[in-house]
Chains A and B, each alone.
Chain A
Amino acid sequence: MRYIEPHAHMVSRVTDDYDRMVLAGCEAVCEPAFWAGYDRSSVAGFYDYFSQLTDYEPKRAAKHGIKHFSWLGLNSKEAEDVKLAEEVVALIPQFLDRPNVLGIGEIGLNKNSRNELRVLEMQVDLAARHQQLILVHTPHLEDKLKGTRLILDVLKNDRRILPERVIIDHVEEHTVAMVLDTGMWAGMTLYPETKCTPARAIDMLETYGRERLWLNSACDWGRSDPLAVPKTAVAMKRRGHLAEVVDEVVFQNPGRFLRQCLKFRL
Chain B
Amino acid sequence: MNQQSLLDLYFLEARHQLVEVAAFLDRLERTGETADFRAQAFAEAVKILGSPGKNKAREVLLAFSDPTTEPIAAATTKAACGAWPGQAEG
Which residues on A are within 8 Å of B, measured CB to CB?
35, 77, 80, 110-117, 139-146, 149-150, 172-174, 199-200, 203, 238-240
Contact = CB atoms under 8 A, between A and B. Distances in A.
A114 B69 contact: no
Nearest to A177: B58
B81 A142 contact: yes
B87 interface: no
Interface string B62-74: 1011111101111
A36 to B, nearest CB: 12
Nearest to B41: A142
Given A140-B80, A142-B80, A114 B72 contact: yes
A114 B57 contact: no
A173 B78 contact: no
Interface in B30-81: 55, 57-58, 61-62, 64-69, 71-81
Counting chain B residues whose Cβ lies within 8 A of the other chain, the interface size class is 20 to 34
B44 to A, nearest CB: 13
A174 B61 contact: yes
Contact of B71 (A35, A144, A150, A172): A150
Contacts of B71: 112-114, 116-117, 150
Contacts of B57: 172-173, 200, 203
B14 to A, nearest CB: 9
Contact of A112 (B9, B67, B72, B78): B72
A127 B71 CA distance: 23
A11 B69 CA distance: 35
Q: Which has the most chain A C-beta neighbours within 10 Å: B5, B77, B78, B81? A: B78
Contact of B55 (A80, A112, A146, A173): A173
Contact of A80 (B66, B68, B74, B84): B74
A170 to B, nearest CB: 12
B58 A174 contact: yes
B64 A113 contact: no
A249 B74 CA distance: 38
A142 B82 contact: yes
B10 interface: yes
Contacts of B5: 240
A141 B38 CA distance: 12
Given A113-B73, A143-B65, A143-B66, 20 more contacts: A77-B78, A111-B76, A112-B66, A113-B75, A114-B73, A115-B74, A139-B80, A141-B64, A141-B81, A142-B65, A142-B80, A144-B65, A149-B69, A150-B69, A150-B71, A172-B57, A172-B61, A173-B61, A239-B1, A240-B1
